[in-house]
Amino acid sequence: DAGVIQSPRHEVTEMGQEVTLRCKPISGHDYLFWYRQTMMRGLELLIYFNNNVPIDDSGMPEDRFSAKMPNASFSTLKIQPSEPRDSAVYFCASSRLRGRSTGELFFGEGSRLTVL
Amino acid sequence: TQLLEQSPQFLSIQEGENLTVYCNSSSVFSSLQWYRQEPGEGPVLLVTVVTGGEVKKLKRLTFQFGDARKDSSLHITAAQPGDTGLYLCVAGNNRKLIWGLGTSLAVNP
């Protein structure tokens, strides 16, 4: 079975450019998460969706960041305009939470973003 | 603010040695998970613990959830180079997840 698929794996861009990261969650999973990982701050939750609806976007750094989930099999994270401090590895994860316990998160391989 | 502190931050050992890493908090959690992340990959779930005092074993890995559900430990027996990676603990309350910064483990042959 295919896992969570992210693209691109690597992106190098210049400050001010628009960046779009893509994610295809595991089929049947109704939760989708976008995380950012850096050495200094570890894994930070940016936003998560339930059944394609954004539930909590309090982790989105600022208005330059936006995320959409137009259907159950696709999500995007967009940064416009990008800045050097946005350089990080961005992970998409999906899960099928059961009851009140914490479900297993299935992560993609990540998109490494470098903004020059 | 709920925080999860992991220690040590870095650990480099020789193959065959035993080690323990820790995940501590001042808050009580309903569940706690351990993930391992290999370079260039996303984290992968190792175990979930939900009951205070619970001990789970996964081959050479032993996980323990503290009695008060505030802390956890991961013990690896006879470490192997394949155990190299970043070990992350994450704790949950009401579907909000708090992640530690991780322990970076290097097992040298």
Pairing of strands A88-95, A31-38: antiparallel
Select from A76, A84, A27 the least CA-distant residue to A47: A76
Q: Which residues contact A56 (CB under 8 A, 6 or more apart)?
A: A45, A47, A48
Kindly list the residues of chain B whose beta carbon comes within 8 Å of any beta carbon in chain A: 30-31, 33, 35, 40-45, 48, 50, 88, 90, 92, 95, 97, 99-102
In chain B, helix, strand, coil percent, each to 5? 5, 55, 40
Cβ proximity of A6 and A91 under 8 Å: yes
Q: pLDDT tens digits, residue range B8-34?
A: 999 999 999 999 999 999 888 888 999
Of A45, A91, A97, the CB nearest to B42: A91
Which pair of tokens denotes residue A82? Answer: 């990008």
Tell me whether residues A42 and B99 touch, CB distance under 8 A: yes
Picking from B40, B43, B95, the nearest residue to A107 by CB comes out as: B43
Interchain pair A101, B31: CB under 8 A: yes
B74-107: pLDDT as tens digits: 999 999 999 999 999 998 776 678 899 999 999 9
What is the residue-averaged pLDDT of chain A?
93
Q: How many CB atoms lie within 10 A of CB A34?
A: 25
pLDDT tops 50 at residue A100: no
| Contact list, A97 vs chain B (CB under 8 Å) | 95
Q: Which residue of A has its CA nearest to B40?
A: A109
